[in-house]
Amino acid sequence: MSEFTWDSKVVEEPEPRQADEAEAEHRPEPAAAPETLAMSTNDFAALEERILRAVNLVKRERQARTAVEERAAKAEAQLREQAPLVEQLQNEVNALRAERDLVRQRMERLLAQLDALEL
C-alpha cells in the first residue's frame, strides 16, 4: 500500500504595525498558537478516496464473513441431519463384512471337505 504524507504548513500571523508595537510592549506575551495544518485540495481528495476505499473494503469483508458464516451454519445443519444416516450405513457395512467373513469361513470348510474327498 502506498504511503500518504501530508505537507504541513504553518500559517503565520501578520506582523503588528508600529502603532500596535507600543501596545504590545504593555500587554503580556500571548501563549504560542498551535500550528495549523493546511492541506491542498488534491491532498484532501486523495485522503477522502483512501477512506472511501477502506470503508468499501470493510463492507465487502463483512459481507464475505456473513456469507461464510451462513455456509458454515448450513454445513453444520446438514452434518447433523446426515449423522444418523452415516451411522446406519457404517453399521450396515460392518454387518456385511461380518457376513462376508462367515461366508468365507463356510466356503473354506466346504473346499476343505472337497479336498478331503479327493484324497
The residue whose grid cell reads 491542498 is: 40
In whole angstroms, what is the distance from residue 89 CA to residue 82 CA?
A: 11
For the chain, give the number of residues: 119
Contact 39, 6 (CB under 8 A): yes
The pLDDT assigned to 26 comes to: 53
Domain regions of the chain by residue span: 18-118
DSSP SS3 for 30? coil
Please tell me the distance from the alpha carbon of residue 7 to that of residue 26, in angstroms, as a whole number.
Answer: 37
Summarised one tens digit per residue, pLDDT across range 87-116 is 999 999 999 999 999 999 999 999 999 988
Q: What is the pLDDT of residue 3?
A: 46
Note the pLDDT of residue 84. 95
**Residue 88 confidence (pLDDT):** 96
pLDDT at 10: 45
Residues of the chain with pLDDT under 50: 1-13, 19, 33
- What is the residue type of 91? N
Q: Tell me what pLDDT residue 29 has.
A: 53
The span from the CA of 109 to the CA of 102, in Å, is 11
pTM of the model: 0.44
